[in-house]
Amino acid sequence: MKGLNPGGVWAIYRAEMQRTVRTIFQSVAAPVLTTALYFVVFGGAIGSRIREVDGVAYGSFIVPGLMMLSILTQSISNASIGIYFPKFTGTIFEILSAPLSSTEAVIAYVGAAATKSMIIALIILATATLFVQVRIDHPLWMTAFLVLVSVAFSLFGFIIGIWAKNFEQLAMIPTLVVTPLTFLGGSFYSIKMLPPFWQTVSLFNPVVYLISGFRWSFYGQGDVSVVTSLGFTLTFIVVCFAALAWIFRVGWRLRP
C-alpha cells in the first residue's frame, strides 16, 4: 500500500495557509468586529429582556452559537474557495497529475480550511471573554467538537467547491442554506423556548445537534444529548468522505 506523501500534503497546506496570511487583517478584524456587534445587538437589546437561559447568563449562552456560526461559514468558505480556484484557473490538472493521491489532496485542502476555521473560532472566543464571563466545563469535549465540526464542514465545503460552476453557485449553499439553518438551529436561543410543535420541527435541523453538543461542552447542558450530537457529527464526516471518494473515482466536475 502506497504511503502518505507528507511533502506534497505540506506544500498544498502551506500554500493555503499563506493565502490566509496575505489577508490577515480581513481574516482577523472581520470576526472580531462581527462578534462585538453581536454582543452589542443581542447582548444589549435581547439580553436586557432575557437575563438567563437554563441558568446561564444570556450573553454567555450565545458564545458557543457565535463560535459555531463562524466555524460553519468559515469552514465551507475556505474549503470551497481553496478547490474552486484551481478549477477556475485550470491548475487543477496539475494537482490531479501530481504524485499525490486524492486522499492526500483532500487532507491538505481540508486540513488548511479546518485550521483557519478553528483559529477564527478561538479568536471569537477570546473576544467574547472581553464582554462576558465564559466557562468551559468540558475543555476536551469542546476541543473535540471544535476539530470535528471544522473538519466536517470543510469536507462539505470541498464538495461545494467541486460542484460549483461559478461564483454564484459557490456562495449559494452557504448563504441560502447553511446560514439560515444556523440561525434557526439554536445559536442565540434554546429550542426548549419554542412551542412544542416548533421544537419537533427544529429537531430536523442538523445544525441543532452541532450547536447543542458544542454548548454542552461549555455549560454542561444542551437541547439534545451529547452522544447524539457526536454521532451526527461523525456520521456527517463519513458521508462527506464517501462522497469525495466517489467524486475522485469518477472525476465528476474535475475532468472534462
Q: What is the chain's Cα-based Rg? A: 19
pLDDT of residue 5: 82
Domain boundaries, the chain: 6-250
Q: Minimal CA–CA distance to 108: which of 23, 236, 8, 242?
A: 8
pLDDT of residue 119: 92
pLDDT of residue 109: 93
What's the rounded Cα separation, in Å, for the pair 173 and 150? 17
Given a contact cutoff of 8 angstroms between Cβ atoms, the answer to whether 99 and 8 are in contact is yes
Q: How many other C-beta atoms lie within 10 A of the C-beta of residue 102?
A: 16
Query: In the chain, which stretches have pLDDT less than 50?
Result: 1
pLDDT of residue 37: 82
Find all residues with CB under 8 Å of 32, minimum gap 6, and list them: 123, 124, 127
- pTM listed for this prediction: 0.90
Find all residues with CB under 8 Å of 3, minimum gap 6, and list them: none
pLDDT of residue 1: 41
Identity of the residue numbered 64: P
Q: pLDDT by residue (tens digit) across 156-173?
A: 999 999 999 888 898 898
